[in-house]
Amino acid sequence: MRTKILIVCMLMLALVITGCSSSTSSNENDSDKIVLKFLHKWPQPQYAPYFEEVVKEFESQNPDIKIKMEAIADEPIKDKLRVILGGSEVPDIMFSWSGEFARKFVRADAALDLTPYLEEDAAWKDSFIPASLQPFSSDGKNYGIPLRFNGKFFVYNKEIFDKHGLQAPKTWDEFLEVLDTLKEEGETPLMLGNESPWAAIHYLTGLNQKMVDQEVRMNDYNPRSGEFTDSGYVKAMEMLAELNEKGYFMDNVNSSSHDMVKQMFFAGKGAMFYVELEEFQDVENALKGNWGFFPMPSIADGNGSQNYITGAPDGFIVSSKTKHPKEAVEFLKFLTSKENSLKLVKDIGWPSPIEGATNPDTALKQVAEGVEYMKQAEGMAEWLDTDVHAKVADVYLSNIQLLLDGSKSPEEIIKEVQAVAKQVQSEVE
């Protein structure tokens, strides 16, 4: 019995040691170093090595600095960041989405103003595609550094399109005609996996932007002034619901995951799929050039700008509580250097916000073309669930599946949005 207990204890000790070593390597002289806590959201095996290599190289070039790295996946990190916002154990450098998600850290005085660091290093500031820095700004100051520059596009199976004599649509009316033709010919026009409701929210992101006047929408997305009374919000929901009501989406959208549906699309089960630019490499791996892409088409009667691309950068903010702001910024400069940005594009296929890093020599041709789309766009329609206040986002997220299954109307949902937006106005300083 004692032997068994001893074995169990040894195994537990081994697991503890293994778990501790999974973040960053330890060193007996680490106590003499400046330690920077670094939190990101990519623990997956296809992404983690990139960060491990960059951290290792930074430490080798800066022997007086130790990076204590932690990686937490997409959904769990949202809870982690909420805890961080109200606690004392704050990483020096932490992942953040742009838009309202970052601005809540700004309002809480939790994010360091990075404007002086960008202004004093003009070469660093000018290395970014301008549209990638703007979504991290608040009241004319910059609080975040982008790592990825991501957009949303419809990809389509060329074999299916050619079979039915179809072309990529440029207007919403043309889009609906393509959907009608595909359905009449027995094809599944659109693939959607909305088990995690951000997938349908990404549709609504673009529809809100195209249907609502830009100034009105920005006023509503501001938690201090949001009302959401413009009729364009209801119309945007009606347009999304119509795609499902007319049978353009595949069956069982609310019980299917995005990744599962992606594999179905790769197998030729549907004609089109709305994906992020960073997923283009997956599409190419599966379809081997037999695909094309286009942005969400323009809407003739929409009151918003039609030359926006749905998407946003994400990246990092520096804690206002850090004891080492200079070193934290130096690490971000290293992470977003041209060399490491080229490596980012080559190694994991992510579009970079650094000018020239994403090009036909470093990236898939379609990825480079997608970045050009975003550079030429008037602006970015940032992800709705991170661009509005968290409480407003929760209303959208909790109701979007109900919209698609027909159990709640657009009017009912928008009334809830309006009520919560009014509540938020009284809570936000």
CATH assignment at residue 114:
3.40.190.10
Same domain, 325 and 373: yes
> Residue 280 and residue 295: Cα distance in Å, rounded?
13
Residues 196 and 284 in one domain: yes
* 271: CB partners within 8 A, 6+ apart: 156, 157, 160, 161, 182, 187, 188, 189, 190
Q: H or E stretch including 423?
A: helix 410-427
pLDDT at residue 16, as a whole number = 36
Domain presence at residue 4: no
The pLDDT of residue 15 is 36
Shared domain check, 94 and 72: yes
Do 280 and 396 lie in a common domain?
yes
Q: Does residue 18 lie in a domain region? A: no
Residue 78 in domain:
yes
Instruction: Give burial (CB, 10 Å; 0-12/13-18/19+) of 141.
Output: middle
What pLDDT is stored for residue 349 in this prediction?
87
User: Same domain, yes or no, for 320 and 354?
Assistant: yes
What are the pLDDT digits (tens) for 118-174? 999 999 999 999 889 989 999 999 999 999 999 999 999 999 999 999 999 999 999
Pairing relationship of beta strands 379-381 and 137-138 according to DSSP bridges? unpaired
Are both 247 and 387 inside the same structural domain? Answer: yes
The verdict on residue 373 lying in a domain is yes
Q: Which residues contact 255 (CB under 8 A, 6 or more apart)?
A: 195
Alpha-carbon gap, residue 165 to 158, rounded angstroms: 10
For residue 74, the model assigns a pLDDT of 83
At residue 22 the predicted structure's pLDDT band, cuts being 50, 70 and 90, is very low
Asked if residue 10 belongs to a domain, the reply is no
Quick: pLDDT tens for 329-374: 999 999 999 999 999 999 988 999 999 999 999 999 999 999 999 9
Count of domains forming the chain: 2
Instruction: Identify the pLDDT of residue 124.
Output: 98
pLDDT of residue 88: 67
3 pLDDT higher than 70: no
CB atoms within 10 A of CB 143: 23
What pLDDT score was predicted for residue 355?
Answer: 95
Q: How confident is the model at residue 429 (pLDDT cuts 50, 70, 90)?
A: low
Run of H or E residues at 311 = strand 308-318
Asked whether residue 81 is assigned to any structural domain, the reply reads yes
pLDDT band at residue 29 using 50, 70 and 90 as cut-offs:
low
Question: What is the rounded average pLDDT of the residues 308-312?
Answer: 94
- Per the model's pLDDT, the better-predicted residue between 5 and 379 turns out to be 379
- For 111, list phi and psi in degrees, rounded to 5: -110, 135
Mean pLDDT of 280-309: 96
Do 179 and 267 share a domain, yes or no? yes
Q: Which residues contact residue 188 at a Cβ distance below 8 angstroms, ignoring those fewer than 6 apart? A: 182, 250, 269, 270, 271
- Decide if pLDDT at 14 tops 50: no
- Name the residue range of residue 391's domain: 152-310+382-427
Pairing of β 308-318 and β 93-97 = antiparallel
pLDDT higher for 387 or 29? 387
- Residue 355 and residue 345 in one domain: yes
* End-to-end Cα separation, the chain, in angstroms: 62
Instruction: List, as one string, the DSSP characters of 171-219.
Output: BHHHHHHHHHHHHHTT---EE---SSTHHHHHHHHHHHHHHS-HHHHHH
Same domain, 370 and 258: no
Tokens describing residue 303 = 């009151």
- Could you report the per-residue pLDDT of 167-215, keeping only the tens digit for each? 999 999 999 999 999 999 999 999 999 999 999 999 999 999 999 999 9
Same-domain status, 63 and 204 = no
Average pLDDT, the chain: 91
Residues 270 and 305 in one domain: yes
pLDDT surpasses 60 at 25: no
Q: Is the pLDDT assigned to residue 10 strictly greater than 70?
A: no
Does the pLDDT of residue 12 top 70, yes or no? no
Quote the pTM value.
0.84
Q: Is there a single domain that holds both residue 159 and residue 298?
A: yes
